[in-house]
Structure formats: structure tokens, C-alpha cells
């Protein structure tokens, strides 16, 4: 009887570890594994930096939020929010193209790229906006 209880406990522990591992992998991939997207800063976009604030209401320095429509290589559109702070980056200007790595939940990374580096099928979609 004790062996059966021990076996059940071990089995439950293994199942619990497996469930946590699966959940952790899904969480990591949804949050930190990005897909390639491309976007263009709209020509009428105001790039004037604004004061950013922490969750406590304290000043965090100048920055800008770029809410852009980006496209992946399959032509799927996604609204992405790129947060830029003036002490880390130069602000992308209207008409400039961005390469964006975005997960399901957030922008993992980005950089300004040349129009010639944007795949043709994506460039058509961007310019149709």
C-alpha cells in the first residue's frame, strides 16, 4: 500500500513539473520570442519627444511612443507600440522604415532600416496604408 501511495505521489510530482515546464515555455515564447515585422513612420507623425512618467508618477525623461501598423513576411498586419527614450536612441523620423521584432505581447527589439532592406511584398503593403 505504501508503495502505491509513493508511486502516485511521484507521478503527481512529475505531472506537476511537466505542466509548469510547458506553461513556462509558452509564457517565454509568447513574451520574448519575436517575429520579424516592418513598418514605416507615417509622414504626418509628430516625433516631438514628450515627458514620460513611471507608474509612480515620477518623471522618467523624454521619450515618444510610436504606435505603428507593421507587416510580417506573410503579409499579416499587427499594431505595434515602440517606446523610445531619448537617452537610448535617436527618434525615427517620418518616412523612415523600421525593422521590428515583436512577440505576441511586446516589441522585443527594433532598429531603423533602409527601404531597400524591406522585402518587396511587405513594402507594397506598407506603402498602401
92 DSSP assignment: P
Quote the pLDDT of residue 65: 93
SS3 category, 125: helix
- The whole-number pLDDT of residue 4 equals 85
- Cα dihedral value 63, 66, 72, 76, nearest 10: 150
Helices first, then strands: H and E counts in the chain:
2, 6
Domain layout of the chain by residue ranges: 1-32, 34-127
Shortest CA distance to 37 belongs to which of 119, 129, 124?
Answer: 119
> What CATH code would you report for 34-127?
2.40.50.480
- Parallel/antiparallel/unpaired status of strands 35-40 and 97-102: antiparallel
Cell digits of residue 104: 505576441
Residues 21 and 38: their CA atoms lie apart, in Å, by 32
Which residues in the chain show pLDDT less than 50?
Answer: none
Cα 12–Cα 16–Cα 18 angle in degrees, nearest 5 = 115
Amino acid at each position: 500500500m505504501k508503495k502505491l501511495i509513493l508511486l502516485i505521489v511521484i507521478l503527481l510530482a512529475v505531472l506537476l513539473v511537466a505542466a509548469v515546464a510547458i506553461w513556462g515555455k509558452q509564457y517565454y515564447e509568447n513574451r520574448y520570442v519575436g517575429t520579424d515585422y516592418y513598418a514605416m513612420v507615417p509622414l504626418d507623425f509628430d516625433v516631438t519627444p514628450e515627458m514620460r512618467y513611471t507608474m509612480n508618477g515620477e518623471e522618467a525623461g523624454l521619450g515618444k511612443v510610436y504606435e505603428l501598423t507593421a507587416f510580417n513576411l506573410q503579409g499579416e498586419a499587427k499594431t505595434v507600440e515602440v517606446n523610445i527614450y531619448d537617452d537610448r536612441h535617436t527618434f525615427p523620423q517620418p518616412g523612415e522604415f523600421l525593422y521590428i521584432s515583436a512577440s505576441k505581447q511586446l516589441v522585443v527589439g527594433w532598429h531603423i532600416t533602409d527601404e531597400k532592406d524591406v522585402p518587396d511584398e511587405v513594402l507594397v503593403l506598407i506603402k498602401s496604408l
